[in-house]
């Protein structure tokens, strides 16, 4: 009856190990989880080893015992390898030499001793296997403590470690009993054999269950962590968008303010001429002049001055107050000329000549306000470069061309150029080569272009200044709603 009971323990443990392998395989199906795969391999090897042990009477001893103990030892080292791969601090984990050397050495030692004893299982073989199992379980306990330091919740890892430690202790006790001559045969009718094998099967089965629960716990923890990371990432992206919006407003306001100071001077000219004509007309009327042709001329010039001032104000208002935030089909040639016209005063004061080379019309789907910001930033950048240039002829050439796949705009100046090695760096945030620069304009320009799946890059033109190139995807259909303000 005792023999049947011990064999039943072995078969029960074999079945539970195989069941654990199936459950883990189902949980990690097609996930290529290295830790889970190693634990599955350990369970399968244990299931085979215990099944062979029960039926070793019908299998050659040199195969059954040596193969059984080496498989069992290998399965225990696989548990340690599985735990190692739960590490969150080490990305690449290699196999320990002990994982292969110890089971191999045990196989050859037991096989040689079995051969010398005439294919019998000797106490030395049993003791060698027991001490090896004890060492392998102790090794597993060591890794539960080592890996456990990386987790805030160590409950399940500690349970696996305590189970391994208890099984290691029982294996050592069994090895000592074998060497003492008390019991060398696994199925001996000894009460302590029943207790040891029952507790071993129970603890090892619970250890497999603890691993399953551990992985489920880690899976939920990773899921919660991922959700928290997604929320944090969403918040960071919102903060980034708010920062970009603030920087855009700052850069846009600064650009408009700079233009406003020069446009004020531009508006004063027609207003001054208008005042002179108005005073002249008043004097003529007061003197009783009847020269209708002269009065008509004065009136015509006054109207022209009013129209000129109104056009300047209207252009500035268009730049400052456009509300649309959605991309539309924009006619780029007219938009470019509008920005150049608003910048005309500063261009004249700096002695800069602007040349625009373009087809009659050129279309792209962009936000008009953002596109104007791009043009203002690049145009101001070119003017700033020419401002510190010693060249007598200062020129900016703006070229627009529309290809089948893309729209390209280049803004080339003959200023001082870009410092060597800074062609990419100038597009980084807070990087500037100007004493009064903010390091925001070109970064925002690149950010805007990237949002429209475009690209921007800069290069020096031989010692003749710099050239900025912007490319945008071409429209896939014929423009219907066109905005060109």
Q: pLDDT tens digits, residue range 288-340?
A: 666 667 666 767 767 766 766 666 666 556 555 555 567 788 888 888 888 88
What is the reported pTM?
0.49
Torsions phi, psi for 224 (to 5 deg) = -65, -40
Q: Of 134-138, 253-257, 365-369, give the range with the top mean pLDDT.
A: 134-138
> What pLDDT, in 10s, does the model give residues 22-56?
999 998 888 888 888 999 999 999 998 888 877 76
The alpha-helical segments, DSSP class H, found in 28-96 are 34-54, 61-84
Kindly report the number of other CB atoms within 10 A of residue 85's CB atom. Answer: 16
- Return the percent helix, strand and coil in the chain, to nearest 5: 65, 10, 25
Tell me which residue of 122, 103, 134 sits closest to 179, measured CA to CA.
122
Q: Is domain 2-235 given the CATH code 1.20.1070 in the classification?
A: yes
Instruction: State the span(s) of the chain assigned CATH 3.30.565.10.
Output: 324-485
pLDDT of residue 313: 64
Q: What's the first-to-final CA gap in the chain, in angstroms?
A: 99
The Cα 182–Cα 2 span in angstroms is: 17
Torsions phi, psi for 445 (to 5 deg) = -60, -45
Instruction: State the span(s) of the chain assigned CATH 1.20.1070.
Output: 2-235
53 or 469: which leads in pLDDT: 469
Q: Is 177 exposed, middle or buried (0-12, 13-18, 19+ CB in 10 A)?
A: buried
Residue 79: both structure tokens together: 């548990």
> What pLDDT, in 10s, does the model give residues 83-129?
888 876 666 678 889 999 999 999 999 888 888 887 778 888 889 99
Identify the CATH number of the domain defined by range 324-485: 3.30.565.10
Tell me which residue of 201, 198, 185 sits closest to 17, measured CA to CA.
201
232-251 mean pLDDT? 65
Lowest mean pLDDT among 42-56, 178-192, 446-460: 178-192
Residues whose CB is less than 8 angstroms from the CB of residue 175 and which lie 6 or more positions away in sequence, other chains included: 126, 127, 130, 131, 134
SS3 436: coil
The Cα 218–Cα 462 span in angstroms is: 60
Kindly report the number of other CB atoms within 10 A of residue 343's CB atom. Answer: 24
Residue 199: both structure tokens together: 């507790």
pLDDT at residue 214 tops 90 = no
pLDDT of residue 485: 45
Lowest mean pLDDT among 95-99, 224-228, 409-413: 224-228
């Amino acid at each position: 009856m005792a023999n049947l009971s011990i064999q039943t323990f072995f078969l029960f443990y074999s079945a539970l190990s195989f069941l654990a392998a199936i459950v883990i395989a189902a949980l990690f199906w097609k996930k290529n989880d290295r830790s889970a795969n190693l634990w599955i391999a350990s369970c399968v090897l244990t299931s085979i080893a215990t099944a062979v042990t029960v039926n070793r009477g019908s299998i050659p001893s040199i195969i059954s015992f040596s193969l059984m103990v080496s498989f069992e030892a290998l399965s225990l080292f696989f548990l340690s390898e599985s735990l190692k791969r739960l590490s969150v601090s080490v990305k690449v984990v290699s196999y320990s030499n002990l994982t292969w050397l110890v089971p191999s050495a045990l196989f050859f030692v037991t096989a040689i001793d079995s051969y010398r004893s005439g294919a019998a299982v000797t106490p030395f073989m049993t003791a060698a296997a027991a001490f090896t199992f004890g060492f392998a379980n102790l090794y597993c306990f060591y890794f539960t403590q080592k890996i456990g330091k990386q987790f805030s919740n160590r409950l399940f890892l500690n349970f696996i470690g305590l189970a391994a430690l208890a099984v290691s202790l029982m294996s050592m006790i069994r090895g000592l009993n074998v060497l003492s001559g008390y019991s060398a045969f696994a199925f001996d009718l000894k009460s302590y054999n029943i207790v040891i094998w029952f507790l071993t099967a129970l603890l090892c089965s619970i250890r497999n269950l603890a691993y399953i629960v551990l992985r489920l716990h880690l899976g939920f923890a990773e899921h919660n962590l991922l959700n928290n990371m997604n929320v944090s990432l969403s918040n960071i992206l919102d903060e980034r968008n708010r920062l970009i919006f603030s920087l855009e407003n700052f850069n846009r306001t600064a650009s408009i303010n700079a233009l406003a100071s020069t446009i004020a001077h531009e508006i004063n000219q027609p207003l001054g001429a208008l005042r002179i004509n108005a005073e002249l007309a008043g004097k003529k009327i007061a003197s009783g002049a009847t020269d209708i042709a002269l009065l008509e001329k004065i009136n015509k010039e006054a109207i022209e001055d009013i129209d000129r001032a109104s056009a300047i104000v209207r252009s500035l208002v268009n730049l400052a107050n456009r509300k649309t935030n959605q991309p539309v089909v924009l006619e780029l040639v007219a938009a470019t000329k509008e920005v150049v016209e608003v910048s005309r005063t500063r261009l004249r004061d700096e002695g800069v000549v602007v040349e625009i080379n373009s087809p009659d019309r050129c279309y792209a789907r962009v936000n008009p306000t953002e596109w104007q910001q791009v043009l203002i930033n690049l145009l101001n950048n070119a003017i700033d470069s020419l401002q510190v240039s010693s060249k007598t002829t200062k020129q900016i050439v703006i070229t627009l061309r529309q290809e089948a796949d893309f729209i390209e705009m280049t803004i080339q100046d003959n200023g001082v150029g870009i410092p060597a090695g800074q062609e990419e760096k100038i597009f980084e945030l807070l990087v500037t080569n100007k004493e009064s620069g903010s390091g925001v304009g070109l970064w925002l320009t690149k950010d805007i272009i990237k949002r429209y799946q475009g690209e921007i890059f800069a290069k020096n033109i031989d010692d003749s200044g710099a050239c900025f190139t912007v490319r945008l995807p071409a429209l896939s259909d014929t423009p219907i709603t066109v905005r060109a303000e």
